[in-house]
Amino acid sequence: MRGRFPRIAKVWADAAYAGDKLRTALHEHAGVIEIVRKDPNRKGFAVLPRRWVVERTFAWIARCRRMVRHYEALHRTARAFVLLALIRIMIRRLANPGP
């Protein structure tokens, strides 16, 4: 990862990825890993820090009709359509700057 993404200094991960094997692998290659955990004293739904960024991005991608279902047979094709969806989002933002 360092060679391909040299600017990555910190990785946020869900509590499901809190294992020692992943922590060791990411620490060697990405720098710092921070596991986002929910507060054990809180009941019900709670917005977790940094996790909402990922969920929000998935929601934006899902607005593209093609991305609602997994139609692609090859992962390269699916990746290309995700990139196209994100490019579409960025072009719309650049064309219509908000307040």
What pTM was estimated for this model as a whole? 0.56
Tens digit of pLDDT for each residue in 41-71? 888 877 777 777 878 888 888 888 777 777 7
Give the C-alpha distances (Å, rounded to integers) separating 92 from 9, 89, 97.
29, 5, 8
Closest CA to 60 of 35, 85, 42: 85
Which residues in the chain belong to E strands, given as ranges? 10-14, 32-36
| Domain boundaries, given as residue ranges, for the chain | 1-46, 50-99
> Residue 29: its pLDDT value, please?
64
- Structural tokens at position 28: 């060697």
Give the HSE-up count for residue 52: Cα atoms under 13 Å, Cβ half-sphere: 6
9-26: per-residue pLDDT in tens?
Answer: 777 777 777 778 777 776
